[in-house]
Amino acid sequence: MKKLFALILATIPFLAACNWEFHKPTDQMNALNEMQQTDVDFSNRSKEAGMKQAFLEYMEDEAVLLRQNRLPLVGAFAVDYLSSIEDSSFSLTWEPQGADMSRSGDLGFTYGIYSMQINDSTYKGTYVTIWRKQNNGKWKMVLDTGNQGIGKDQE
């Protein structure tokens, strides 16, 4: 037993010196980059056309929205909720901070910080969006949620 323990201790410096790198397969990395770019494009569309229009364009038919003080809004209820929002008095944008996805490369998530500009005030928080790759190769949002993680005019 002492010899085994000594052998294990002797291999630790060798293992520590090795440069262990684990890479995701190229196809998965390409899909991850596409999904993250879709999140950036989604935010740009929100800035350009308004939050409501961007969400309606980027969400699946049965997408789920999780919003404060509401039950989960699914599919048509999510569309009805978005359609009722008057978004001309504020601007909502976000920036992904990270992402990951399934090995199959067809389901993943992004997360980051959103910024809501209302008049001269900026409110920030955090979000997570779950994405699914469609049959046509485009990414659509299947679940979106956020919270007031940072606060007004703070970073």
Per-domain residue ranges for the chain? Answer: 25-152
- pLDDT for 151 equals 55
pTM of the predicted model, to two decimals? 0.80
Please provide the DSSP assignment of 96-139 as one string.
EEEEEE-TTSSEEEEEEEEEEEETTEEEEEEEEEEEEE-TTS-E
Distance from C-alpha of 57 to C-alpha of 50, rounded to nearest angstrom: 11
**CATH class of the domain comprising 25-152:** alpha beta
Contacting residues for 49 by C-beta, under 8 A, at least 6 apart: none
**pLDDT by position in tens, the chain (length 155):** 555 444 454 555 544 555 545 456 788 899 999 999 999 999 999 999 999 999 999 999 999 999 999 999 999 999 999 999 999 999 999 999 999 999 999 999 999 999 999 999 999 999 999 999 999 999 999 999 999 876 555 55
Contacting residues for 6 by C-beta, under 8 A, at least 6 apart: none
- pLDDT for 27 equals 86
